[in-house]
A and B are shown apart, each in its own frame.
Chain A
Amino acid sequence: MTVNFAILIPFLAAAIIPFLDKRLGRVHIGWFALLIPLGLFIYLASFIPNIAAGETIIHTLEWIPSYDIHFTAYVDGLSLILGLLITGVGALVSLYSIYYLSPEESLKHFYLYLLLFMGAMLGVVFSDNIMVLYVFWELTSISSFLLIAFWYHRKRSREGAQKSLLITISGGFAMLVGFIMLYAMTGSFSIREIISVISEHTDHPLFLPAMLLILLGAFTKSAQFPFHIWLPDAMEAPTPVSAYLHSATMVKAGIYLVARFTPVFGGEALWFWLVTGVGLFTLFWAAFHAVKQVDLKAMLAYSTVSQLGMIMAMFGIGSAALHFGYSTESVVYTQATFAALFHLVNHSTFKGALFMVIGIVDHEVGTRDVRRLGGLVSFMPITFTIAMIGSFSMAGLPPFNGFLSKEMFFTAALNISELSIYSLDTWGAVIPVVAWVASVFTFLYSMMIVFKTFFGPYQEEKLERPAHEPPKGMLIAPVMLGLTVVGLFFFPNLLGDNLLRPAMAGIFPSFPEAELGVEIYAWHGFNTELFMTFGIVVVGLLLYVTLKYWRGVYVLFPERWSFNALYSYALHQMEIRSRTATKSYMTGVLRDYLVYIYFFFILLIGGALVYTGAINFSITENAPITPYEWIIAGVMFIAAISILFAKSRLTAILLNGVLGYSIAVFFVLFRAPDLALTQVVIETVTTVLFLVSYHFLPEWEREHDRKRRKGLHLLISAAVGTIFATIALAVHNGKLFESISHFYENSYELAGGRNIVNSILGDFRALDTMLEVVVLLIAGVGVYTFIKLKLGKGDQRLEDQ
């Protein structure tokens, strides 16, 4: 079995889940779904020894070889970390959701979407081909959309799903364009090949656009400022979904993308400042706003955004190392990337646990509102313990893994502020300050999650159900995640050596692997970072105690001025504006559309005539005009002009008849007896038809248009006439080759007919004649049906059904 099949297995499982659900009867379908991530986790874990030894695994299935698109699975440290997170957290979430979701829910849909998502996510992290990566990327967006709107009967769920889809898909499209630009530059879709050749293309004009577009994709997916607005709204999803997608996996896809493309774009000042700057600002902004939330899930959503910003910022800082190329000094900066990878894992563990805890609280007491909760510690001791582990880890306190990664973050921030490239000597000092302030707020909301929920007065009258410990099955998954959080604190190097170090080798391919990676110590002496943590605890506690005095600060950021409001406003305005725009030209009046058509005809054909200089009025080679022709033309001219001013419809019909008969005379004059015959007959029939339908036509009404409009119509019709005349003259004068009519002159020998016109119609070009006959047939049948198939009273129109 290769990794390619491992990616496809969740899709296959998703396909059979609905059938299985029918067969299984009373057994919870979740147990089957649980097997898939569990099996895949064990399978992927079996790669760890190889990866730790510095190997990479690659396997290619051809998909569209003619377009250079192959389904290539590539396993290195980075993708294996994500793969293990996806399957590991996926297994725990499946287990948790078995107890969380009641059997009355549409479980087969839930697990189908979940497995679809899992497969797509595995595809994203293991794909080496960027087109395949994009395919899986969009699949994660779509399956996330389906999962957010799982309770589709709720309006807020649908809105949240729509919002997340709009934002992530637009980012995805930007990313696709970026990928195509990369292909245009390097001529390869394979990430590894792009990395190996990109250094020759950094001056390419597409290099920066590609970087910006790919970053846009990563930022929208990873909910970076200002695209973070979809994540809090995605909290309308069931809690297992929030725990899985919106904390551990999908939002890490953008992070993964940034990490994966660091060797491509890293080392550029723009990349450094965009990733670090946006990450830092997101870190601060979301941490600041998490404090004001009253819904626990919204609080966790903002905290996720904030933590993602932190990881993003660390990847940005780490990319500075590529600027120098390999040297013993620059290795220091790679430490930030190491910290980012480490925190990526840590965040998935504690945030998953926290979401599950909130889900348990919601499930057991019926609310997630902080203002209604309190004093649950004596009722739910185990839940409380996990919540405490998760929150303290998030706040960055020992003895939990968050402490280690946050200390490393501070180290990185302090290191980078002393760097002298990218104008860091002026702005560098801001980085540690922002990081520290954001961490204070992180500490603050982490404490709020624990203390507001589990301590304080127990308000039973505000709860829907009396609090008690949840069923044991529900606790398994959060307990395991909580154990991982603590375990990673005590044995961080197990993870560091086996997975993070190989991942670093993928991100910094030009660096010797032995130099990369950091030995993590739980205790690293009294240094600046530790005192920063002390400061966080002190200031954080102070802020927590005085919360009600400075809460007023949030009035400065009213909902009206948020990006949410901007998004809704923009969406609303776009709908209104496009409706107005459409209504302004889609008037429903045929005459207006004709004006558009003729206007563009004048513009295009007239423009082409002028542009190409094809106008040619020379009439020297024309045959002389006889007096009869003058007379007939004069009659026609008078008749045509008179039609425009006719007072009644009958007059117009008669004048039209005059025109038709005059054309017949022209045919006679120009020696075309067959045409003249047909023209006479057809003209008569047409006139009679006009008279037949005359009875059914409405009164001939003079249009009371405004003068300007009439003028416009006059102008347009005159222009159309002039252009046609001009074209006719130009074509007449611009003969490219001799006509081929001499071929038909020997029609008697070839076709056995002396009448050339009839020979052409019936012999040389008979196919056209046949189709003209068909046209007449269709017209006849159409007229017959129009007349015969009338709607009886009370019948339903066919087209209305």
Chain B
Amino acid sequence: MIELMLSAALVMFGLAGAIALIRIIIGPSLPDRIIALDMIGVILVSVVAVISVILNTRAFLEVILILAILAFISTIAFSRYIERGAIIERKRDR
């Protein structure tokens, strides 16, 4: 039973990812795409968690953490990019 549920969850996450991917591809605006990518990141966190349960291992827990941090960072980077046109601002004296 639990096996089936996990598999179903994975398939649904996959579908969610695919839908998010469509949003990335067709846009239409840049924020739409960035939100979609952020979503994909969160979906991936869940997918990795489910897979860890299926594989019965704890080796991938770091991946979840890293993925969560990085999804956050990349979303921030994109947002800054949209806001300012650059991610890392330069010092004025240079």
Contacts and interface: CB of A to CB of B under 8 A. Distances in A.
Contacts of A657: 37, 74
B86 A631 contact: no
A521 to B, nearest CB: 102
A634 interface: yes
A378 to B, nearest CB: 91
A668 B14 contact: no
Interface string B65-94: 011001001100110010001111000000
Interface in B43-82: 44, 47-48, 51-52, 55, 57, 59-60, 62-63, 66-67, 70, 73-74, 77-78, 81
A612 to B, nearest CB: 40
A688 B88 CA distance: 10
B66 A680 contact: yes
Contacts of B48: 665, 668, 676
Given A668-B60, A684-B74, 16 more contacts: A628-B11, A628-B14, A631-B10, A635-B17, A638-B18, A642-B21, A650-B30, A661-B40, A664-B63, A665-B47, A673-B59, A676-B60, A688-B74, A688-B77, A692-B88, A695-B86
Interface of A: 627-628, 631-632, 634-635, 638-639, 642, 646, 650-651, 654-655, 657-658, 661, 664-665, 668-669, 671, 673, 676-677, 680-681, 684, 687-688, 691-692, 694-695
A634 B22 CA distance: 12
Contact of B87 (A650, A651, A691): A691
Interface string B26-43: 010010011011001100
Given A654-B24, A665-B44, A684-B70, A673 B60 contact: yes
A620 B67 CA distance: 36
A691 B37 CA distance: 14
How large, as a class, is the contact surface on chain B? Answer: 35 or more
A658 B40 contact: yes
SS class of chain A's interface: helix, strand, loop or mixed? helix
Given A664-B63, A680-B67, A687 B51 contact: no
A695 B85 contact: yes
Nearest to A676: B63
SS class of chain B's interface: helix, strand, loop or mixed? helix
Contacts of A671: 55, 57, 59
A651 B33 contact: yes
A631 B14 contact: yes
A658 B24 contact: yes
B4 to A, nearest CB: 12
Contacts of B27: 651
B44 A661 contact: yes
A490 B27 CA distance: 110
Contacts of B78: 691
B39 to A, nearest CB: 11
A674 to B, nearest CB: 9
A635 B60 contact: no
Contacts of A677: 62-63, 66
A664 B40 CA distance: 13
Nearest to A638: B21
A635 B25 CA distance: 12
A693 to B, nearest CB: 10
Contacts of B14: 628, 631-632, 634-635
What 7 pairs between A and B have smallest CB-CB spacing?
A631-B14, A673-B59, A684-B70, A642-B25, A676-B63, A628-B10, A688-B77
B29 to A, nearest CB: 11
Contact of B25 (A655, A665, A694): A655
A658 B38 CA distance: 10
A651 B57 contact: no
A680 B47 contact: no
Contacts of B34: 654
Contacts of B17: 631, 635
B60 to A, nearest CB: 5
Nearest to A643: B25
Contacts of B24: 651, 654-655, 658
B33 A631 contact: no
Contacts of A639: 21, 25
A105 to B, nearest CB: 62
Contacts of B52: 668
Contacts of A651: 24-25, 27, 33
A639 B17 CA distance: 11
Given A661-B44, A664-B63, A673-B60, A694 B74 contact: no
B21 A631 contact: no
Contacts of A627: 7, 10-11
A623 to B, nearest CB: 15
A668 B87 CA distance: 30
Given A673-B63, A695-B86, A658 B37 contact: yes
A668 B55 CA distance: 10
10 contacts: A654-B34, A655-B25, A657-B37, A657-B74, A664-B67, A668-B63, A673-B62, A680-B63, A681-B66, A695-B85
B87 A688 contact: yes
Contacts of A642: 21, 25
Contacts of A669: 51
B25 A691 contact: no
A705 to B, nearest CB: 24
Interface in B1-21: 7, 10-11, 14-15, 17-18, 21
Nearest to B65: A677
Contacts of A673: 59-60, 62-63
A658 B39 CA distance: 11
A654 B51 contact: no
A668 B49 CA distance: 10
Contacts of A694: 81
